[in-house]
Homo-oligomer: A and B are copies of this chain.
Amino acid sequence: MFNFEDYAKSAFTVDNIIFGFDQGELKILLIKRGEPPYTNQWALPGNFVYPNEDLDAAAERVLGELTGLKDVYLEQVRTFGEVNRHPLGRVITVAYYSLVKIKGYNLKGTSPLSQKAKWVSIENATNLAFDHDQIFEACFRRLKRRVRTRPLGFELLPRKFTLTELQQLYEAILQPEKKIDKRNFRKKILSMKILVDLNEAQEGVAHRPAKLYKFDKKKYEKFVAEGFNFEI
């Protein structure tokens, strides 16, 4: 006879890779582990899923406890469940990634973990605890693909941004196909008509100030409904 308890011997968790863009670099938020296993190694932020909690909600909670942010872009990527991936027992983890705007927010987490968190540029995000290298790879690959067909880039930029910032963001994500032609990039992105020229300019820069734009989500959604496809 089938007995539910016989199969309920596994734990499951979510890991949430939190991407941010700062100083022209793509970064993720890592946590320095304070206890075994993998003490003192960097790890992805994650947590167990509570018994009455949906998976997405758990990922949002991890993000919230760490940064104080909510309502950010969140996407499930893939589930990692190799038998021996966790030394303490059978632990299946569902991997997510989030996109947050670093600038203009003081990230403050509520959990003690947030003390041990640090933004690390993606080139340096190696040698992570558990199978987190693999998880990071999978999520970053997904982001690279997704960002070309969905207007996700704006989730990583401040509300007002310049076209050069936007281009640098794409270059940071799509590396090493790093070299995007400035004129072609602008022609393409402006031809989509999903950016609004704010008629404002950068201030305090030692060169010709750039114009500021914002992303017009309403317009984007209207175009999509009409069959438009974002594509970079």
Contacts and interface: CB of A to CB of B under 8 A. Distances in A.
Contacts of A89: 4, 8
Q: How many copies of this chain does the complex contain?
A: 2
A83 B51 CA distance: 8
Contacts of A54: 81-83
Given A4-B89, A89-B8, A79 B55 contact: yes
A79 B82 contact: no
A4 B88 contact: yes
Contacts of A124: none
Contacts of A162: none
A79 B94 contact: yes
A52 B4 CA distance: 17
Given A49-B81, A76-B79, A81-B49, A92 B7 contact: no
Interface stretch (A9-17, A61-69, A197-205): A9-17
Contacts of A217: none
A8 B10 CA distance: 5
Nearest to A13: B7
Nearest to A79: B79
A9 B55 contact: no
Interface of A: 4, 7-12, 48-49, 51-55, 76, 78-79, 81-83, 88-90, 92, 94
Given A10-B51, A54-B82, A55-B79, 16 more contacts: A4-B88, A7-B12, A7-B48, A8-B9, A8-B89, A10-B12, A12-B12, A12-B81, A12-B92, A51-B90, A54-B81, A55-B81, A55-B82, A55-B92, A76-B78, A81-B94
Contact of A11 (B8, B48, B83, B88): B8
Contacts of A52: 83
Contacts of A4: 11, 88-89
18 contacts: A4-B89, A7-B11, A7-B48, A8-B8, A8-B9, A8-B11, A8-B89, A8-B90, A9-B51, A10-B10, A10-B49, A10-B51, A12-B81, A12-B92, A51-B90, A52-B83, A54-B83, A92-B94
Contacts of A49: 10, 81
Tell which of A79, A88, A89 has the most Cβ of chain B within 10 Å: A79
